[in-house]
Amino acid sequence: MAAAVALAEKGIPVTLFESARQLGGRARGVVHQDTQLDNGQHLLLGCYKDTLSLIEQVGGNIEQDFLRLPLQLDLHGHFALQAPRLPAPLHLLAGLLRAQGLSWTERLSAARFMFALRQANFKLHGDMTVTELLDRYSQSDNLIQKLWEPLCIAALNTPAQIASAQVLLNVLRDALNQRRSDSDMLIPRIDFSALLPKRAANHVKKRGGHVLMSCGVENLLPHEHGMEIVTKRGSLFFSHVICATPPSAAARLLRPIAELSPVVELIDALQYQPIYTVYLQYPSHVRLPHAMLGLYQRFSQWLFDRGRIAGQQGLIASVISAEGLHQCLSRDELAQKVIAELRAEFDIIDLPLWQKVIAEKRATFACTPNLQRPKQQTPLPQLLLAGDYTDGDYPATLEGAVRSGLCCATQVMRFVPHHILPG
Ligand SMILES: Cc1cc2nc3c(=O)[nH]c(=O)nc-3n(C[C@H](O)[C@H](O)[C@H](O)COP(=O)(O)OP(=O)(O)OC[C@H]3O[C@@H](n4cnc5c(N)ncnc54)[C@H](O)[C@@H]3O)c2cc1C
């Protein structure tokens, strides 16, 4: 979508093929029991500049479409960090020094760690796992369990023992280091399909582009000066193709093309991590103390009160990121665990009116140290790759996906004769 919008904006005719009946991919709206949900509760950071500008470019209004929370991490009753209204990075320093649930030594040790990372410009000499990095900086088990591990899983969707320290630092560099608002947490008030892809599709169509739904690409056939796209509805020829599918679908499409075997090898080597979201619709009077809060050493990692966020009273989303014991439970068993946790933590004695567990088993690639990701450019100049899994310094996130799309659009524009580009 990011690529399509950027190209359509320049007057380049774009056709977008979507295999599903709806837009959004891994960030899409889902309706259950007449209630608008997402396939998973998404959260953006203030530093996701390209995604936020794209949403604005296609007609969104960031302050209306999102609930904006200043940086805060609250593990109900066990840990609380709230960044005061100071310029970055002082806001984080003050937040760490005042954090509840840590000893004085731990607060100082966390602050010293952040200071050392800043001094090093958030750049490691060699990548390593997050656990190894935390070990080097003598972060205590308590600090790791309450602060760094939840942060790592939230940012990279990969457990600290196997997660890339450098990629985590890339996110910390952008979120914590420059402007205070970069670390703001933005929670969508509307479903994700409405927030971005539907608006983007309209934007593209208004500029002469086409959006073909339920029209999966079955084959990509390279020609000397372009590429043929084969779908069930027939074939079409284009000067350039940006393949913006999830990695497994990209591998399927690229595998028959001999020149692309090194790219396919990289995609085949990716491993994946799940994200589960348990939605519970309670009677409308049920509320959590905050719009978003974490639980310590429970199945539920983060809870979102959709009543406080979007007026969906009584609707609670429990997010469980990365691999773990929850994968051994059936959906019903997992929902029962979450219900029991809500009862134990918040005395919620009501039973939910309904529950819905959405398991995205391949939510993101596992973001491990020194991971080689395929570049946007391929050995075929007429074929580019976009998506959160392609080369970049971010983990699998909306921002990573948008940046890759913009990079592809820039590459395509280099081939378009200048006399047909407006302005
Ligand atoms: C549950 C969950 C929670 C998440 N939470 C967050 C979060 O809080 N913050 C964050 O930044 N990121 C989050 N992510 C990650 C984020 O959603 C993804 O990084 C992002 O959506 C990836 O976008 P993409 O365009 O690369 O791929 P996708 O969203 O997977 O889009 C690929 C599209 O290609 C289509 N397609 C597939 N095959 C074909 C074909 N043959 N022909 C045509 N079309 C095809 C698919 O239908 C899909 O629409 C989350 C992901 C999940 C699953």
Task: State the pairing for strand pair 234-238/226-231.
Answer: antiparallel
Residues 285 and 393 grouped into a single domain: no
Give yes or no for a contact between 250 and 243, defined as CB atoms under 8 angstroms apart: yes
**How much distance in Å is there from the Cα of 114 to the middle of ligand 1?**
31
DSSP 164: B
Q: What angle do CA 267, 156, 42 make, to 5 degrees?
A: 105
> What is the 364 CA–ligand 1 centroid distance (Å)?
8
> End-to-end distance of the chain based on CA atoms, in angstroms?
22
Best of 44, 245, 279, 394 to mutate for ligand 1, by most ligand atoms within 8 A of CB? 245
- Taking only the tens place, the pLDDT of each residue in 166-191 is 999 999 999 998 899 999 999 999 99
164 touches 156 (CB < 8 A): yes
Sole residue written with tokens 């993101």: 364
All residues at 6 or more sequence positions from 104 whose CB lies less than 8 Å from its CB, including other chains = none
Q: Of ligand 1's atoms, which has the minimum distance to the CA of residue 277?
A: 1
254 in contact with ligand 1, CB cutoff 6 A: no
Answer yes or no: do 174 and 315 share one domain: no
Note whether 56 and 43 are same-domain residues. yes
Q: Could you tell me the pLDDT band of residue 24, with boundaries at 50, 70 and 90?
A: very high
Whether the CB of 231 sits within 6 Å of ligand 1: no
User: 258 and 378 share a domain?
Assistant: yes
Q: Looking at the structure, do residues 352 and 399 belong to the same domain, yes or no?
A: no
Rg (CA), the chain: 22
Q: How far apart are CA 286 and CA 306, in angstroms?
A: 11
Which pLDDT score, from 0 to 100, does residue 420 have?
54
Number of domains in the chain: 3
- The reply to whether 150 and 262 lie within a common domain is no
Same domain, 77 and 176: yes
How far does residue 246's CA lie from ligand 1's centre (Å)?
Answer: 7
Same structural domain for residues 387 and 347? no
Burial degree of 94 (CB within 10 A; 0-12, 13-18, 19+): middle
Ligand 1 atom closest to Cα of 363? 53
Q: Check pocket membership of 213 for ligand 1, CB cut-off 6 A.
A: no
Please give the number of the atom of ligand 1 that sits closest to the Cα of 249: 38
CA distance 111 to 7: 44
Q: Are residues 133 and 246 in the same domain?
A: no
56 and 99 in a single domain? The answer is no
Asked if 75 and 101 touch (Cβ cutoff 8 Å), the reply is yes
Site to substitute for ligand 1 among 16, 17, 26, most atoms within 8 A of C-beta? 26
Say yes or no to pLDDT of 137 above 90.
yes
Residue written as tokens 């608002």? 181
Which pTM does this prediction carry? 0.97
Residues 88 and 177 in one domain: yes
Q: Give the residue-averaged pLDDT of 231-239.
A: 96
Integer Cα distance of 122 and 205 in angstroms:
41
Atom of ligand 1 nearest to the CA of 43: 8
Q: Over the stretch 367-388, which tens digit does the pLDDT of each residue have?
A: 999 999 999 999 999 999 999 9
In this structure, what CATH number is given to the domain that contains residue 246? Answer: 3.50.50.60
Atom of ligand 1 minimally distant from the CA of 404: 26
- DSSP string covering 353-395: SEEEEEEEEEEEE---TT-----SB-SSTTEEE-STTSSSSS-
| Residue showing tokens 């703001």 | 184
pLDDT at 177: 86
CATH number of the CATH domain containing 293: 3.90.660.20
Residues near 122 by Cβ (< 8 Å), separated by ≥ 6? 169, 170, 172, 173, 177
Predicted local confidence at residue 423, as pLDDT? 46
Residue 131 sits in which domain range?
71-183
H helix or E strand, kind and range, residue 202: helix 197-206
245 touches ligand 1 (CB under 6 Å) = yes
Q: What is the pLDDT of residues 340-376, one digit of tens each?
A: 999 999 999 999 999 999 999 999 999 999 999 999 9
Q: Is the pLDDT of residue 299 over 60?
A: yes
84 and 177 assigned to the same domain: yes
Residue 18 in contact with ligand 1 by CB distance below 6 A: yes
Q: For tokens 């692309």, what's the residue?
A: 260
- Determine the pLDDT at residue 308: 98
Q: Any alpha helices (H) in 140-196, and if so which ranges?
A: 141-143, 149-156, 165-176, 192-195
Atom of ligand 1 nearest to the CA of 253: 41
What is the pLDDT of the chain when averaged over all its residues? 96
The reply to whether ligand 1 has any atom less than 6 angstroms from the CB of 395 is no
CA distance 20 to 62: 27
Q: Could you give the dihedral angle defined by the CA atoms of residues 94, 122, 364 and 24, in that order, rounded to the nearest 10 degrees? A: 70
Sorted by sequence, the CB contacts under 8 Å of residue 340 that are 6+ apart come out as none
> Which atom of ligand 1 is found nearest the CA of 388?
26
Choosing from 321, 346, 365, the residue where a domain stops is 365
417: pLDDT confidence band, cut at 50, 70 and 90? low
